[in-house]
Amino acid sequence: MSLHTHIVGVGGYLPERILSNETLSTMVDTTDAWIRERTGITQRHILAHDQQTSDLAVEAAKQALDDAGLTIDDIDALIVATTTPDMVFPSTASVVQYKLGGKGFPAWDIQAVCSGFVYGLAQADGMMRGGMFQRVLMIGAESMSRIVDWKDRNTCVLFGDGAGAVVLENREGEGGMIGSVLHCDGSYRQLLMAEHQHNGHEPGKAIDFSMDAAGVAAIEMKGNEVFRVAVSKLGEVVGEVLDKYGLQKSDVDWLVPHQANIRILNATAKKMKMEAGRMVITVDQHANTSSASVPLALNHLYRQGSIQTGQILLLEAFASGFAWGANLIRWSKS
């Protein structure tokens, strides 16, 4: 019997601090009704002053490892998808490895913004099928509140912090990862970005070492343009991944999408002709947590006890870059 990549543990973590729409409306010119109507979001979680992205990742990882009945010593590789690392370097994955008590096995970050977890699953699956690893801890973790312009009501209402994780195991048995499709088109990059300005590095000018070279990153987005492309590309990638692996839309039991905006979620479900209740929606509770949103949605579905063995899950995400992709999974976790 051939080996397949199976999800054997699932976990998630949201910081304790909750920022409601009502509270946010005292900070910026917005209202609860305005946010709900345009995004579907009612609240978002914000990390504590003494927390970092790695801390969120560690909590999600602990839950996933416990769910799998494993420890960090059983892991062969650790991947963290994040847009908001603890520092420029070393990788957040190396920090997470240390905080979990691991040592020696490879650990690295993936930066594909909101598509990071989908990209990471595809990468881990490919490496595991190739025989490099038996068990991989895959985490999506973000502290988006660190790069939000809290004076920009068009973007600050959209994002929150959190982490989700899965433990992957390469073993015999039916089910597991069916396959993935990934894409990127950098020509759209300026529609959604958080530019890291390097003062003193302007072309044609001498470097002024007295200036602050760290710069500031804040999310900038042209919402209408992003919405149009996102709906189009997500519709395309759903059809592509199903065609590639010989499945129909009706074969999908659960759609686990990136939790960006309720309008994008509903538009994608409509294109798939998805039955009501078969699409996971968590954006209302934690907003857009970038690379953490797909694993958090999966954790929510799993903790509800809704997934049955043999059911097919379609994970999909769209991100700045633009980067987008999808994973197909036949659920095999008992």
Lowest mean pLDDT among 66-80, 240-254, 259-273, 280-294: 259-273
Evaluate the CA torsion angle 299, 166, 183, 175 in order and state its sign: negative
Better-scored residue on pLDDT, 224 or 178:
178
**Terminal CA-to-CA distance of the chain, rounded, Å?**
19
Task: Give the mean pLDDT of 94-113.
Answer: 97
Task: Give the mean pLDDT of 282-294.
Answer: 97
Q: Residue 285: what pLDDT? A: 96
Is residue 11 domain-resident? Answer: yes
- Residue of 170, 288, 299, 327 marked catalytic: 288
Q: Give yes or no for residue 165 having a pLDDT over 90.
A: yes
Residues 6+ apart with CB under 8 A from 296: 12, 14, 140, 162, 163, 164, 259, 282, 286, 289
104 exposed, middle or buried (CB, 10 Å; 0-12, 13-18, 19+)? exposed
Domain that holds residue 254: 178-189+218-330
Q: Quick one: pLDDT band at residue 201, thresholds 50, 70, 90?
A: very low
Q: Residue 151: what pLDDT? A: 87
Q: Residue 211: what pLDDT? A: 40
Q: Residue 77: what pLDDT? A: 98
- Residue of 258, 286, 300, 327 marked catalytic: 258
- Inter-residue contact 23 to 139 (CB < 8 Å): no
- Residue of 21, 114, 156, 300 marked catalytic: 114
Question: Catalytic site residue 288?
Answer: yes
Is residue 66 domain-resident? Answer: yes
Q: Quick one: pLDDT band at residue 219, thresholds 50, 70, 90?
A: confident
Q: Residue 173: what pLDDT? A: 78
Is residue 210 domain-resident? Answer: no
- Percent residues over pLDDT 90 in the chain: 73
Distance of alpha carbon 259 from the chain centroid = 9
Task: Give the mean pLDDT of 279-306.
Answer: 96
Pair 148, 259 in one domain: no
Q: Give yes or no for residue 207 having a pLDDT over 80.
A: no
Pair 227, 109 in one domain: no
Question: Catalytic site residue 258?
Answer: yes
Pair 166, 270 in one domain: no
Domain containing residue 94: CATH number: 3.40.47.10
Neighbours of 305 (CB within 10 A): 7
Which DSSP string do the residues of 174-223 spell out, in sequence order? S-EEEEEEEEE-GGGGGGEEE----TT--TTS---TTS--S----EEE-H
Q: Give yes or no for residue 197 having a pLDDT over 80.
A: no
210 exposed, middle or buried (CB, 10 Å; 0-12, 13-18, 19+)? exposed
Pair 162, 261 in one domain: no
Residue whose tokens read 């909590």: 59
pTM, two decimal places: 0.93
* Per-residue tokens: 218: 């804040």
Q: Quick one: pLDDT band at residue 209, thresholds 50, 70, 90?
A: very low
Residue whose tokens read 């997500």: 234
Task: Give the mean pLDDT of 290-296.
Answer: 98
Task: Give the mean pLDDT of 194-211.
Answer: 50
